[in-house]
A and B are shown apart, each in its own frame.
Chain A
Amino acid sequence: MIRRLFVLFTIISTLCLPAQKGTMDIQYSARKIEVNEPLTVVYNLHNMEERGMLQSKWDPFVLVGGPSIGRSMNTSIVNGQMSQSQTNSYTVQLVSKKTGKLMVPKAYFQLSDGSRVETQSFEVEVVKEGTIPRQQTRQSNPFDPFSAFFDPFDPFANSGMGMPQRHAPQQSSPSNSGVYTDPSKIDLKKDIFAQIVVNKRKAYVGEQLTASVKIYTAVNSKGFEAEKLPNFNGFWSQDIRLPEPLEMKRETLGGKEYVSVEIKKILLFPTKPGLLEISPLKMRTVALVPVKVNRQQNQRQPRDLFDAIQMMMSQDMNVFGGVEYKEVPYSFSSGNTTIEVLPLPANAPKSFTGAVGKYSMNAFSNKKELKTDEALTYSIEIKGSGNLPLIENPKMEWDTDLEVYDPQLKENYNTSPNFNGSKTWNYTVIPHNPGTYSTPPFEFSYFNIENKRYETISSPATALTITGSPTARKSKGKTYAEYDYAKQKIKESTNYSPQSKISNISYFGWSLLPLILALGIAIVPKSTIKNERFASGKKVSEQVRRQMQLASTYLKNNDKKLFYNEITRAYWAYLGNRLRIEPSLLSKDNIADKLRQRNVPEETISEVISLIENAEMGLYTSYGAKGMQEQYHQSLEVLSELEKQLV
């Protein structure tokens, strides 16, 4: 983009060496630069067969870029004669640290034949930083809303300056066609400006205002960029979406035709009374200003007649004549806007929390009868237009028996034509005790902007009937009105009774003593416990009686094997338990010995032994099928005899 500017500052220098057929010119980006701002200098060498640049020192400038070389070839045939021209351009970028009028030193080039050529030096004014609007213009910013604004194909785009004219009037001020003759006298104040348009200059606190930021331009320009956005301090603001791309309008202001673009539209709600100032919008752009150029070619002396004719022809044939577009960086601001904000009247009702506009209110409960632990939703809906987002959460005093959760807020807003919509608070309420309760009555006040008066709308209390059994409050839910401990009275107690205490010695004595004793008992060997394995007297006779009864039933059934089996078991059980002989030691010999020890007569002993033997014979052999009856009776006799003897 900077390269385009080169057209503006061109020095045509004739070569010092007339023998050379080539020409040379220098282009540089600006006559006036800031400190640290790069100055781009291009040396164009036409039809010179040079080897390269010999420059290494650029005092008082510092080389920051380049030299970069660009080559272009041009072949043309004029009147059957072919001519070829080659242009090599060397671009360097220089920066100065000093201020003042400085000379850019001569540049030296070495030609193919070994000779050197030098260029002219020229003067550039270097000024302090910030004194010139910055020339750097960025390529279109993706976020720049004005990129659509610069449209080279826009038929309207040229209308601001009219068609470029070949013969521009020689005036120092812009003519009707907007062409400047002197680039140093360019004044864009009336060509590009911005405005913040507010629909009201006086408003109440909370009243809605609409502000729109507009840019007016009468010249072509590109790359609008916002340096500083207006600051809406003291306002609650809401942006309104604008159509994409931005809409361009033709407007005539003070007899001059402009293109206007609304770049921002904002809804404002003043939040405090007094004079509120909207700080200006600051923007910068690059304006394309048509300028009548003082052609320096004219000063060049034609070398011969042909040259002179050619120069005249080129001047005549040049469509743009003496007009060139100069890219002028330009910053502009919208100027301050003040708005007088009136305070709201003093007689505000108690329930007023700052709502201004026009509203309607609706409060309802979704259930009127419910059981304990069931959830109930109580909703408060405020509808209307005004400063809805600034309306605070309603303050409600609920019965402390009801568990009330913080309300959920639902908002639904529209921005056109006025700011309107609805705001709904949903309370979840859980009762824990049966009974009759009521929702707290709710009042909502607002300042009616139409008749400039406070208005109050209220919703009555809704009765709630709660059935069911009492349930415990879940500590998760916080009551809306938090329990304030600091306001409570402390609990007191009026009875004091001394505590009976067990002294440590007696406690440990009384508790450890039984444990030690128990441990001692547990360690004592369990020698006496063996007896317990043998049934005592009554149990034995009972057991034997049962077995003998069983045997008698087998006898009746004539079941030989089961009979002998049962009767043998009866003998062993009786003798084992009665004589306290371990089952493993139970044998006929042992039994005889034990009986002898108990002083049982020999004949009884032999009877017992023979009985056992008979029973075993009957159990294991085919013998004894007939003697079952006899065996049974004999057993009864012998066992009862033995019982008598043993006791």
Chain B
Amino acid sequence: MRYFIVYVLSLIAICPASAELHPAIKAYQNHDYSQAIQLWNQEIRKPNANKEEIYFQIGNNLFQSKDYSQAILFYEKALRENYNREDIKFNHKVARAKLGLPVENQVLFTDDWMKKIAYIFSTNQYQWMTIVLAWGLLFIIAFHRFRYIKKYSLIRNLLLGTLLTISTLYATRYYFRTTTVKGIVLKPALTGYTSISMDGSPKPLHQGEKVLITDRIGDKIQVLSESDSSLWISVQDIQVI
């Protein structure tokens, strides 16, 4: 219990600090984008860094310096932290449109709603919820030993069910956040080949395009492009999200 109190107090202590603008945001407002990116890179190393926000900010800086494919990469990273942020999604679309890529949702339908549900709560909220539910479960089981509780089994099962659901969602979110099987094509006018020997007729990959990495042999990776063709490219041509 004491930990909780300490935690809440520390939260309150941190909050007023953000009232003043972060230096990186100031740099952004002064159109000093490289400086802002540098400051954000320092910020992200801190243990309590808000990655979702930092990636979004870095993406915006890159967008303003007209490096759209890099911006897409960082928006994708930010979306991996929080898929349900509409402003990130919007900027992501704008950056794609700037590169002439299709803006409509390219994600598979099932993937999309799973993500939407899994990202309803933030990591912190999920962690707090599981802790509270686990303690609640312990309390109700222990209390029932000493005193009779009406509808004890119903309450217990509800608590258990909620705990399981929440932890499953948290695990799904964790999976989406940590699996890195997608990349962004950074090189302009990149061509891929259908065979690993890199011969035959090359097929173009668009700059800023999102690809799914399906295989890797040596320094060559096989990717599935947005136009659904499986191509072999060099590993340094893309950046994993």
Per the bound structure, the CA–CA distance linking A511 and B22 in Å amounts to 34
- B232 CB–A CB distance under 8 Å: no
Q: State whether the Cβ of B217 lies closer than 8 Å to any Cβ in chain A.
A: no
Indicate if A630 sits at the interface (CB-CB under 8 A): no
Asked if B14 CB lies within 8 Å of chain A CBs, one says yes
| Residue from A496, A500, A521, A522 whose CB has the most chain B CB atoms within 10 Å | A496
Q: How far is the CA of A493 from the CA of B56 in the complex (A)?
A: 9
Nearest chain A CB to B24 CB, angstrom units = 7
- Bound-state CA distance A518–B15 (Å) is 35
In the complex, A490→B63 CA distance in Å? 8
Query: Quick check: which of B107-115, B130-138, B202-210, B221-229 contacts chain A, the rest being far away?
Result: B130-138
Cβ of B199 under 8 Å from chain A: no
Known A-B contacts A491-B87, A497-B18, A521-B142; A515 and B134 likewise in contact (beta carbons under 8 Å) = yes
A416 on the B face (CB < 8 A): no
Interface residues of A in 509-558 (CB under 8 A from B): 510-515, 517-518, 521-522, 524, 532
B50 contacts A511, CB within 8 Å? no
Q: Does B154 contact A (CB under 8 A)?
A: no
List residues of chain A with CB within 8 A of the CB of B53.
Answer: 493, 496-497, 499
Q: How far is the CB of B112 from chain A (nearest CB, A)?
A: 13
Closest to A490 in B: B91
- Between A and B, how many residue pairs show CB distances below 8 Å? 114
Say whether A492 faces chain B, with CB atoms less than 8 Å apart: yes
Give CA–CA (A507, B3) in the complex, Å.
11
Beta-carbon nearest neighbor of A485 in chain B: B97
B64 cross-chain contacts in A, Cβ below 8 A:
490
| CB-defined contacts of B128 to chain A, threshold 8 Å | 502
Using a CB-CB cutoff of 8 Å, which residues 332-347 of chain A contact chain B?
none
- Assess A521 versus B46: contact at CB under 8 Å? Given A493-B87, A496-B18, A511-B127: no
A494 to B36, CA, bound (A): 13
Provide the residues of chain A in CB contact with B29, threshold 8 Å: 494
B5 within 8 Å of A by Cβ?
no
Contact A518 B137 (CB under 8 A): yes
CA distance A498 to B15 in the complex (A): 9
Interface contact B50-A496, CB-CB below 8 Å: yes
Least CB distance, B109 to chain A, in whole angstroms: 13
Q: Do B25 and A494 touch across chains, with their CB atoms under 8 A apart? A: yes
Bound Cα distance A501, B24 (Å): 22
A222 to B22, CA, bound (A): 95
Chain B residues near A496: list those with CB within 8 A: 18, 22, 24-25, 43, 50, 53-54, 57
Q: Taking the nearest CB of chain A, how far is it from the CB of B49, in angstroms?
A: 6
Given A490-B60, A515-B138, A499-B96 contact (CB < 8 Å): no
The answer to whether B11 has its CB under 8 Å from any CB of chain A is yes
Q: In the complex, which residues of chain A have a beta carbon less than 8 angstroms from the beta carbon of B177?
A: none
Cα distance, A570 to B156, chains bound together (Å): 37
A532 touches B148 (CB 8 A): yes
Q: Does A486 contact B (CB under 8 A)?
A: yes
Within 8 Å of chain A (Cβ to Cβ): is B116? Answer: no
Q: Is the CB of A507 within 8 A of B141?
A: no
Q: A491-B91, A493-B53, A493-B56 are in contact. Are A518 and B141 (CB under 8 A)?
A: yes
Look across to chain A and name the residue whose beta carbon is closest to the beta carbon of B52: A499
- Does any Cβ of B come within 8 Å of A495's Cβ? yes
User: Considering only CB atoms and an 8 Å cut-off, how many residues of chain A contact the other chain?
Assistant: 32
Residues of A within 8 A of B142 (CB): 517-518, 521
Give B56's nearest chain A residue, CB to CB. A493
Q: Which residues of B contact A495 (CB under 8 A)?
A: 18, 21, 25
The dominant DSSP class at the B interface is helix
Within 8 A of A (CB), among B66-105: 87, 90-91, 93-98, 103
Residues of the A chain whose Cβ atoms lie less than 8 Å from the Cβ of B131? 507, 510-511
What residue in chain B is nearest A498 (Cβ atoms)?
B48
**B93 to chain A: closest CB distance in Å?**
5
Choose among B25, B49, B123 the residue that contacts A498 (Cβ–Cβ < 8 A): B49
Chain B, Cβ-Cβ closest to A482:
B103
Shortest A537–chain B CB gap in Å is 17
- Asked whether B124 is an interface residue with its Cβ less than 8 Å from the other chain, the reply is yes
Minimum distance in angstroms from B142 CB to a CB of chain A: 5
In the complex, B30 has a CB within 8 A of chain A: no
Interface centre among A495, A499, A502 (most CB of B within 10 A): A499
Whether B145 sits at the interface, judged by CB under 8 Å, is yes
CA distance A317 to B138 in the complex (A): 132
Residues in B2-38 with C-beta less than 8 Å from chain A: 3, 7, 10-11, 14-15, 17-18, 21-22, 24-25, 28-29
Contact A502–B141 (Cβ < 8 Å): no
Q: Is A484 an interface residue (CB 8 A)?
A: yes
- Interface pair B137/A514, CB less than 8 Å apart: yes
Taking a contact as CB atoms under 8 Å apart, the answer to whether B141 and A522 are in contact is: yes
> Are A500 and B90 CB-contacts (below 8 A) given A514-B137, A515-B134?
no
**CB <8 Å contact, B141 and A506:** no
Q: For the complex, what is the distance from the CA of A420 to the CA of B14, rounded to whole Å?
A: 78
Q: Which residues on B sit within 8 Å (CB–CB) of A493?
A: 53, 56-57, 87
A584: Cβ under 8 A from any B Cβ: no
Query: Are B97 and A484 interface neighbours, CB within 8 A?
Result: yes
A30 to B1, CA, bound (A): 118
Residue A488, interface by CB 8 Å: yes
Q: Which residue of A lies closest to B138 (CB)?
A: A514
Cβ-neighbour of B46 out of A488, A498, A511, A532 (below 8 A):
A498
A-B contact pairs, 22 of them (CB 8 A): A485-B96, A485-B103, A488-B90, A488-B97, A490-B94, A490-B95, A494-B29, A496-B43, A497-B53, A500-B48, A502-B7, A506-B3, A507-B127, A511-B131, A514-B137, A514-B139, A515-B137, A517-B138, A518-B137, A521-B138, A522-B141, A532-B148
Which A residues lie at the B interface, using CB under 8 A?
484-486, 488-502, 506-507, 510-515, 517-518, 521-522, 524, 532
Chain B residues near A (Cβ < 8 Å) = 3, 7, 10-11, 14-15, 17-18, 21-22, 24-25, 28-29, 43, 46-54, 56-57, 60, 63-64, 87, 90-91, 93-98, 103, 122-124, 127-128, 130-131, 134-135, 137-139, 141-142, 145, 148
Beyond A511-B127, A518-B134, 18 additional contacts (C-beta under 8 Å) are A485-B93, A488-B97, A490-B91, A490-B95, A495-B21, A495-B25, A496-B18, A496-B24, A496-B54, A497-B50, A497-B53, A500-B124, A502-B7, A514-B134, A515-B137, A518-B137, A521-B145, A532-B148
Q: Which 6 A-B pairs have the closest CB atoms?
A: A485-B97, A514-B138, A486-B97, A497-B18, A491-B87, A499-B50
